[in-house]
């Protein structure tokens, strides 16, 4: 920006007059990012615990952390492979603080569901937070806040850099530079990542400043550009020293140098000298680090440290479809907070997609108009700038695609090294369609950026106790009380309300569980909700601290009432529709010891079965019959049995296919009778509920085919002879039959 910083009082005054709106944008960003930082609890930024561990490692004077396998023996883990710029700068203020008095304890949430996205809040907190944390703000908690302030400083630099880059390109359109700065300053993802300990924003800030010098280099005469070339290279090196993905800056620098030679017509010798100055700046600021890492660990980029991460992919077996990966990248670029699980409604992303689509259409329209009107060549400066930006964005996209084949990382913030180019491209596209179109996306982003800490971040990390009015609307309490000692229960179960009584296998089953807190616990207990089937086989379970992970039991408030929607993914181990048991427990996570349960009468509860749930296999559910052989409420559609000749000591094995012709209110028993031919005398039988009681008839949907089997042992008491086999249903209480019994056929028993 030529009008800024030329030294004369008049020009400095003119610069202040011209650029004072930028100060308003920066001040607004500072206020807002501080709100983001304060509403985001410690360690809720992506990998923030590991970033902070890196910082304190340096502040303690340990030198640079080890990489490779040794990194996983430290608290820094995969972040040990990161270049050190941000961590070195953050360690300076941290080293002035007694950060071990008290230490900023990182307590991982054992029930954290991230980073997979989901529609509602549920254990979105990566860490467990105690009320005493940051009370008062000192020691390690204060040090972590200082580390965040360093990131915030880089966020301010990023905004100024985007403004300067846009001004350099369009000095006659000052409103464009201001609008670009506003868009970046209010983008929720930029605000959020700027508000936590992270090296993404430092890398983005330094990358943007390097582009400022690159664009300046392309515009200046050869005689005045050596220092600019060196500065551009130095800032590119600093960007790479913050995060290795900034190495993509080499691509636009190469395109710019090629244009200076073949497009602008500079002498090859001058271009080579500029290239050397750029390389010298990069080598001076960052070369030492990559040489060191290559020499010590054989991995100059430090990415080998990620090989042992749980999210690493050796053969792409975890790789999702390309379109799905990039949809996630798109969402993460604009707003996907915490570890990507804290999100706005889906319509917000639809609006972003619409705005970006308009910008892309506008870019193509602008390019076509420009080509048609001017027939530009490679020498055209605007063509050169477009190529530089396009190559930068493409290189960033390719880098991220390659990275996503190595680890699960659809993180839009990894596109931030090209955020300046992306932002300017968006504005060019919007303005190509309509001069004031950009007001809509900018206004939308500003509104979203302002509201996010209050309507998205705050609720995600704030436990929700019910009000007196809400408590009055709850059902009559179940009356079960849980405690380590029967005489001193800590919590009472009010209600367990499933969102459905029937759902398909592999779906998400939601149960609202309401508790009344009786006493503060001495340990942090886990609520266990599980669905079991025959032989106690586990179909699905969910473990969580109360308050959807936000209320460890040592911190909850006696007298309070909370209701948690608990989400359970059902994974029935076989393709058979059954009615499963929903059970609830409170347990010690470390020992898996379940707390004792007493009912309202003071009696110990042995079984905490709280609700039934029909889980159906979609294939079974699709087998529906509409033509019935008779008028009975229960229909025998088909059957097979072994025979017709059996011997004593064998068993008669019958397989049935039944269906209900109408809705049933009674749970009928099924019987299988062996009767002597002629006299009809009953000689053996097998009675009981269908499927051993795991699929009562009152749960059968009309027309669904239910398959079951039943057997009768042929003992020595049954003499050889001719027998008839009958089957039917009856009510266990009234012994009434819901229809005629079925004669299955005759068989002969031999000695």
Residue 62 has pLDDT above 60, yes or no: yes
Give the span between the Cα atoms of 693 and 579, in whole angstroms. Answer: 9
Q: Residue 589's domain is classified under what CATH number?
A: 2.60.40.2550
Residue 536 and residue 441 share a domain: no
| DSSP codes of every residue in 435-482 | TTTTHHHHHHHHHHHHHHIIIIIHHHTS--BPPHHHHHTSPPP--EEE
Residue 4 lies in a domain: no
Residue 595 lies in a domain: yes
Q: What is the mean pLDDT of the chain?
A: 91
Residue 391 and residue 369 share a domain: yes
Cα–Cα–Cα angle for 467, 468, 474, rounded to 5 degrees: 95
Residue 317 has pLDDT above 70, yes or no: no
Give the span between the Cα atoms of 279 and 225, in whole angstroms. Answer: 14
- Other CB atoms within 10 A of residue 732 CB: 12
Looking at residue 592, its pLDDT comes to: 87
Residue 712 and residue 570 share a domain: no
Residue of 22 and 320 predicted with greater confidence: 22
Q: Which residues of 197-207 are buried (b: 16+ CB within 10 A; e: fewer)?
A: bbbbbbbbbbb
Residue 234 and residue 122 share a domain: yes
Instruction: Examine the fold and report which residue of 588, 621, 654 is the final residue of a domain before the chain moves on.
Output: 621
Task: Express each pLDDT in 627-645 by its tens digit.
Answer: 888 888 898 999 999 988 9
Residue 354 and residue 275 share a domain: yes
Q: Give residue 405's pLDDT band: very low, low, confident or very high (50, 70, 90).
A: confident
Give the span between the Cα atoms of 39 and 35, in whole angstroms. Answer: 6
CB 71 within 8 A of CB 305: yes
Residue 1 lies in a domain: no
Query: Six-digit token pair at 321?
Result: 């479809």
Task: Express each pLDDT in 82-100 by its tens digit.
Answer: 999 999 999 999 999 999 9
Q: Are strands 645-647 and 742-750 parallel, antiparallel or unpaired?
A: parallel
Block residue for tokens 């003119």: 14
Looking at residue 1, its pLDDT comes to: 43
- When computed from its CA atoms, the radius of gyration of the chain, rounded to whole angstroms, is 35
Looking at residue 415, its pLDDT comes to: 96
Block residue for tokens 């582009």: 211
Residue 322 and residue 365 share a domain: yes
Q: Give residue 223's pLDDT band: very low, low, confident or very high (50, 70, 90).
A: low
> DSSP 3-state assignment of 76?
coil
Residue 202 lies in domain: 9-35+43-309+316-458
Long-range residue pairs from 173-178, CB within 8 A, at least 24 positions apart, any chain = 174/18, 176/427, 176/431, 177/22, 178/21, 178/22, 178/25
The neighbouring-strand residues paired with 508 are 569
The dihedrals phi and psi of 283, each to the nearest 5 degrees, come to -65, -40
Residue 110 lies in a domain: yes
Q: What number is the average pLDDT over the span 549-558? A: 91
Stated as kind and residue range, the H or E segment containing 724 is strand 721-730
Residue 608 and residue 655 share a domain: no
Residue 133 lies in a domain: yes
Task: Express each pLDDT in 492-550 by its tens digit.
Answer: 999 999 999 999 888 889 999 999 999 989 899 999 999 999 988 899 999 999 988 99
Residue 626 has pLDDT above 90, yes or no: no
Q: Give residue 730's pLDDT band: very low, low, confident or very high (50, 70, 90).
A: very high
Count structural domains, the chain: 3
Looking at residue 2, its pLDDT comes to: 45
Residue 626 lies in a domain: no
Residue 677 and residue 604 share a domain: no
Residue 629 lies in a domain: no
- The secondary structure of residue 704, as a DSSP letter, is B
Residue 11 has pLDDT above 70, yes or no: no
Instruction: Examine the fold and report which residue of 398, 423, 458 is the final residue of a domain before the chain moves on.
Output: 458
Looking at residue 622, its pLDDT comes to: 59
Instruction: Examine the fold and report which residue of 586, 621, 656 is the final residue of a domain before the chain moves on.
Output: 621
Residue 83 and residue 151 share a domain: yes
Q: For 100, what's the count of Cα atoms within 13 Å in the CB-facing half-sphere?
A: 5
Query: Six-digit token pair at 674?
Result: 């062996």
| DSSP codes of every residue in 310-329 | TTB-SSSTTPPPHHHHHHHH
Looking at residue 314, its pLDDT comes to: 64
- The secondary structure of residue 127, as a DSSP letter, is B
Q: Which residues of 230-252 are buried (b: 16+ CB within 10 A; e: fewer)?
A: bbbbbbbbbbbbbbbbbbbbbbb
Residue 2 lies in a domain: no
Query: Quick one: what percent of the chain has pLDDT higher than 70?
Result: 94
Residue 451 and residue 533 share a domain: no
**Most confident range, picked from 470-479, 485-494, 693-702:** 693-702
Task: Express each pLDDT in 638-681 by its tens digit.
Answer: 999 998 899 998 999 999 999 999 999 999 999 999 999 989 99
- Other CB atoms within 10 A of residue 305 CB: 26
Residue 275 has pLDDT above 70, yes or no: yes
Looking at residue 115, its pLDDT comes to: 59
Residue 395 and residue 495 share a domain: no
Q: What is the pTM of this model?
A: 0.87
Q: What number is the average pLDDT over the span 596-625? A: 85
Residue 428 and residue 506 share a domain: no
Looking at residue 3, its pLDDT comes to: 43
CB 74 within 8 A of CB 53: yes
Residue 318 has pLDDT above 70, yes or no: no
Torsion of CA 704, 709, 710, 713, to 10 degrees: 170
């Amino acid at each position: 920006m030529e009008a800024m910083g030329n030294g004369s009082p008049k020009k400095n005054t003119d610069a202040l007059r011209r650029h004072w709106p930028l100060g308003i944008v920066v001040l607004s960003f500072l206020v807002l990012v501080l709100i983001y930082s304060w509403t985001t609890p410690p360690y809720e930024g992506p990998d923030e615990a590991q970033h902070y561990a890196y910082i304190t490692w340096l502040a303690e004077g340990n030198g640079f952390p080890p990489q490779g396998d040794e990194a996983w023996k430290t608290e820094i883990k995969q972040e040990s492979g990161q270049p050190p710029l941000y961590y070195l700068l953050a360690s300076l203020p941290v080293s002035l603080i007694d950060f071990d008095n008290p230490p900023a304890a990182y307590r991982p949430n054992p029930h954290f569901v991230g980073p997979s996205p989901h529609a509602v809040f549920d254990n979105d907190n990566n860490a467990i937070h105690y009320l005493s944390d940051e009370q008062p703000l000192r020691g390690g908690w204060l040090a972590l806040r200082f580390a965040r302030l360093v990131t915030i400083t880089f966020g301010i630099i990023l905004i100024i850099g985007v403004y300067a880059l846009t001004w350099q390109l369009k000095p006659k359109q000052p409103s464009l530079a201001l609008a670009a700065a506003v868009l970046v300053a209010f983008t929720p993802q930029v605000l959020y990542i700027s508000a936590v300990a992270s090296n993404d924003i430092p890398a983005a800030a330094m990358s943007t400043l390097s582009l400022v010098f690159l664009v300046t280099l392309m515009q200046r005469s050869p005689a005045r550009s050596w220092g600019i070339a060196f500065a551009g290279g130095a800032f590119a090196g600093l960007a790479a020293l913050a995060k290795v993905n900034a190495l993509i800056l080499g691509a636009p620098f190469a395109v710019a140098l090629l244009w200076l030679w073949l497009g602008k017509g500079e002498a090859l010798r001058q271009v080579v000298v500029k290239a050397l100055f750029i390389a010298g700046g990069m080598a001076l600021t960052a070369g030492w680090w990559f040489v060191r890492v290559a020499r010590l660990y054989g991995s100059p980029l430090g990415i080998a440290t990620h090989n042992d991460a749980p999210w690493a992919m050796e053969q792409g077996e975890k790789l999702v479809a390309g379109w799905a990966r990039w949809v996630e990248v798109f969402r993460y670029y604009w707003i996907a907070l915490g570890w990507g699980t804290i999100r706005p409604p889906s319509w917000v992303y639809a609006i972003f997609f619409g705005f970006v689509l308009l910008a892309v259409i506008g870019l193509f329209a602008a390019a076509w108009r420009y080509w048609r009107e001017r027939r530009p060549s490679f020498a055209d400066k605007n063509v050169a700038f477009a190529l530089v930006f396009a190559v930068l964005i493409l290189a960033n996209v390719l880098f991220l695609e390659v990275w996503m084949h190595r680890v699960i990382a659809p993180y839009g913030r990894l596109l931030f090294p090209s955020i300046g180019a992306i932002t300017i491209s968006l504005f060019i596209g919007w303005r190509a369609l309509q001069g004031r179109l950009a007001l809509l996306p900018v206004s939308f982003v500003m509104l979203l950026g302002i509201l996010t800490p209050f309507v998205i971040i705050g609720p995600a990390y704030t436990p929700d106790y019910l009000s007196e009015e809400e408590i009055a609307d709850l059902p009559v309490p179940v009356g079960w009380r849980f405690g380590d000692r029967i005489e001193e229960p800590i919590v009472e179960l009010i209600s367990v309300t499933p969102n459905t009584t029937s759902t398909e296998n592999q779906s998400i089953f939601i149960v609202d569980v309401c508790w009344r807190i009786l006493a503060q616990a001495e340990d942090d207990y886990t609520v266990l909700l599980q669905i079991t089937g025959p032989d106690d086989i586990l179909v699905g379970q969910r473990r969580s601290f109360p308050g959807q992970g936000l209320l460890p039991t040592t911190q909850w408030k006696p007298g309070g009432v909370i209701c948690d929607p608990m989400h359970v993914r059902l994974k029935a181990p076989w393709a058979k529709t059954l009615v499963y048991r929903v059970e609830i427990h409170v347990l010690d996570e470390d020992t898996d010891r379940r707390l004792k349960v007493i009912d309202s009468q003071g009696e110990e509860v042995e079984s905490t079965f709280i609700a039934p749930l029909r889980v159906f296999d979609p294939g079974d559910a699709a087998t529906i019959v509409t033509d019935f052989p008779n008028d009975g409420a229960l229909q025998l559609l088909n059957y097979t049995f072994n025979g017709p000749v059996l011997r004593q000591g064998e068993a008669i094995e019958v397989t049935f296919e039944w269906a209900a012709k109408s809705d049933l209110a009674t749970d009928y028993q099924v019987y299988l009778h062996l009767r002597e031919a002629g006299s009809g005398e009953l000689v053996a039988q097998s009675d009981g509920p269908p499927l051993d009681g795991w699929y009562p008839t009152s749960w059968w949907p009309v027309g669904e085919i239910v398959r079951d089997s039943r057997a009768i042992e042929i003992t020595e008491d049954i003499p050889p002879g001719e027998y008839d086999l009958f089957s039917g249903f009856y009510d266990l209480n009234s012994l009434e039959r819901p229809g005629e019994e079925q004669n299955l056929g005759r068989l002969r028993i031999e000695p």
